[in-house]
């Protein structure tokens, strides 16, 4: 017996000498103390607050004086900071990072907005692509996003493999609900005019193309084989209710929810009639359709991606970046180099506002008002797949949430959309979305008050996932 114990101790010691393995196993008990804790469900603020964490899960939440802290517990004191549940991005694309502008290329090729970046992503090495996803995942987590629902554009199994690598502790990142490949009809593909001899082979790397109810069912089964967590279907005007209903029935039989991309009124109606679990984007939804969604208990998933001149800023940043790169190549030509650098500055200083985006914003304001008034369940995602010069993927993503407030959503509802509500949309309400006993200890903290200033969400200074501290800017050095 004694000998066995010694052996065990020796092997534990061996484990701890490989530092990264140790970092993965959470300290058994941790107490996180903070000046304030916001409960998004009720809007109540507990002050001061403490969260007792055991084996990666919340054990108790309350006033610090009322919590019995076991001896040897690790104490994390965040001073006057405010704790919130870890943020959930209900709609993202970690394995895509599109560089804009592609206008000139689009004008020549008569193709979709994703080309050529989408094509490059599909035909380049899947290994390279999944490593991009590793970076995006880490950056999301560092900005406070502790769970994402990744809805396509990941190759065949990039997102499920990334999810598994994160869960196994090989790379840092948020919890991922992975959709695998998006289901689409042949009529709706993001890339067209491909070489006919190669088209199907290329598209199959990214999409599960179906035609008819039986093939829709088959497509779902293929994703089930790849062990996905959710099914994503792109609905367009040609998709029929029986086709989508077959996919949904097959998904539900496998206990998977179905997120349906639908933007125009016809596609939205198809998604409603077929019984989707969530409608993604939904920009053109009518009040009557919102009523139907509410009656069926469907989720509306906001994606305010372009709101607030987002693409104008992306264009500016990318143009300036191109000019600076050009200047670097002119090292021997001081005068021209200076000209390109000056041009880059001018682009950055310009107030480039796109008229299209302004009218877009007004439509979005009314959408937010109508959804809130309808009483339909809602959550939010970033739909992020864009390269934003000078920002990490995480910084770009969390910058999208406050735009919902600009569009007229009360701060508390914005926070609900990416915590409690999102957890319910994902079907993970028993695991994440709130700081409550039994749930994963996924916490973030900010210095200020996000109810008074929702842009506090862009300045998350403490991140904990499953009881592990990912980031702590409050720690004294
Ligand atoms: Zn999307």
Candidates 441, 430, 449, 434; CA nearest to 465 is 441
SS3 52: strand
Calculate the CA 19 to chain-centre distance.
Answer: 29
State pTM to two decimals.
0.90
Strand 29-34 to 49-54 pairing: antiparallel
8 Å CB contact between 150 and 179: yes
8 Å CB contact between 235 and 248: no
SS3 194: coil
**CA dist., res. 266 & res. 176, Å (int):** 31
| Span from the CA of 206 to the centroid of ligand 1 (angstroms) | 13
8 Å CB contact between 260 and 185: no
pLDDT tier for residue 407 given thresholds of 50, 70 and 90: very high
8 Å CB contact between 172 and 211: no
pLDDT, tens only, 188-238: 667 777 888 998 898 999 999 999 999 999 999 999 999 999 999 999 999
* pLDDT, mean over the chain: 90
User: What are the backbone dihedrals phi and psi of residue 261, each rounded to the nearest 5 degrees, phi first?
Assistant: -70, 115
| Span from the CA of 288 to the centroid of ligand 1 (angstroms) | 25
| Span from the CA of 353 to the centroid of ligand 1 (angstroms) | 24
| Span from the CA of 234 to the centroid of ligand 1 (angstroms) | 9
pLDDT of 115 above 70: no
pLDDT (average), residues 54-64? 97
DSSP letter for 440, please: B
| Span from the CA of 368 to the centroid of ligand 1 (angstroms) | 19
DSSP letter for 170, please: S
| Span from the CA of 93 to the centroid of ligand 1 (angstroms) | 7
Q: Starting from the edge strand earliest in sequence, which strands make up the sheet with 175-178, in order?
A: 87-92, 145-150, 175-178
| Span from the CA of 92 to the centroid of ligand 1 (angstroms) | 6
Residue 133, both tokens? 């996803």
| Span from the CA of 180 to the centroid of ligand 1 (angstroms) | 13
DSSP letter for 465, please: E
pLDDT (average), residues 290-302? 98
| Span from the CA of 197 to the centroid of ligand 1 (angstroms) | 28
**CA dist., res. 89 & res. 172, Å (int):** 16
Contacts of 391 (CB under 8 A, 6+ apart): 399
Q: Name the least confident of 308-312, 445-449, 464-468.
A: 308-312
pLDDT of 330 above 90: no
8 Å CB contact between 82 and 450: yes
| Span from the CA of 235 to the centroid of ligand 1 (angstroms) | 12
DSSP output for 269-327: HHHHHHT-SEEEE-TT--HHHHHHHHHHTPEEEE--TTTTTHHHHHHHHHHHHHHHHHH
8 Å CB contact between 463 and 439: no
pLDDT of 143 above 70: yes
């Amino acid at each position: 017996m004694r000998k066995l114990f010694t052996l065990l101790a020796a092997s534990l010691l061996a484990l701890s000498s490989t530092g990264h393995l140790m970092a993965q196993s959470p300290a058994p008990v941790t107490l996180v103390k903070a000046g304030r804790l916001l409960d998004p469900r009720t809007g109540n603020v507990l002050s001061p607050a403490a969260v007792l964490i055991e084996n990666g899960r919340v054990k108790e939440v309350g006033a610090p004086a009322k919590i019995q802290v076991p001896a040897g517990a690790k104490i994390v004191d965040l001073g006057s900071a405010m704790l919130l549940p870890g943020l959930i991005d209900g709609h993202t694309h970690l394995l895509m990072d599109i560089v804009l502008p592609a206008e000139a290329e689009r004008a020549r090729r008569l193709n979709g907005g994703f080309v050529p970046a989408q094509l490059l992503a599909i035909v380049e090495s899947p290994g390279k692509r999944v490593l991009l996803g590793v970076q995006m995942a880490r950056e999301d987590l560092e900005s406070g996003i502790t769970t994402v629902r990744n809805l396509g554009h990941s190759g065949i199994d990039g997102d499920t493999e990334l999810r598994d690598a994160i869960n196994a502790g090989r790379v840092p990142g948020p919890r991922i609900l992975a959709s695998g490949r998006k289901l689409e009809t042949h009529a709706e593909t993001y890339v067209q005019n491909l070489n006919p001899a190669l088209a199907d082979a290329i598209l199959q790397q990214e999409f599960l193309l179906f035609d008819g109810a039986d093939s829709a069912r088959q497509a779902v089964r293929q994703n089930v084989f790849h062990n996905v967590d959710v099914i994503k279907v792109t609905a367009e005007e040609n998709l029929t209710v029986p086709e989508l209903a077959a996919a949904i029935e097959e998904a539900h039989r496998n206990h998977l929810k179905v997120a349906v991309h639908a933007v125009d009124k016809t596609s939205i109606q198809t998604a409603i009639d077929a019984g989707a679990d969530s409608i993604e984007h939904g920009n053109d939804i009518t009040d009557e359709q919102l009523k139907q969604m509410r009656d069926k208990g469907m989720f509306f998933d906001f994606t305010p991606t372009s709101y607030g001149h987002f693409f104008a800023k992306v264009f500016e940043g990318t143009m300036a970046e191109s000019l600076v790169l050009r200047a670097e190549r002119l090292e021997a030509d001081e005068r021209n180099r200076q000209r390109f650098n000056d041009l880059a500055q001018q682009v950055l200083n310009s107030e480039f506002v796109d008229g299209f985006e302004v009218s877009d914003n007004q439509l979005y304001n009314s959408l937010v008002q109508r959804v809130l008034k309808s009483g339909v369940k809602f959550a939010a995602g970033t739909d992020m797949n864009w390269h934003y010069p000078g920002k990490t993927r995480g910084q770009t993503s969390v910058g999208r949430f406050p735009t919902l407030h600009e569009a007229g959503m009360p701060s508390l509802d914005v926070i609900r959309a990416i915590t409690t509500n999102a957890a319910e949309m994902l079907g993970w309400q028993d695991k994440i979305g709130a700081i409550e006993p039994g749930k994963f200890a996924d916490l973030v903290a900010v210095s200020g008050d996000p109810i008074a200033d929702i842009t506090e969400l862009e300045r998350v200074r403490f991140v904990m996932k499953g009881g592990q501290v990912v980031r702590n800017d409050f720690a004294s050095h």
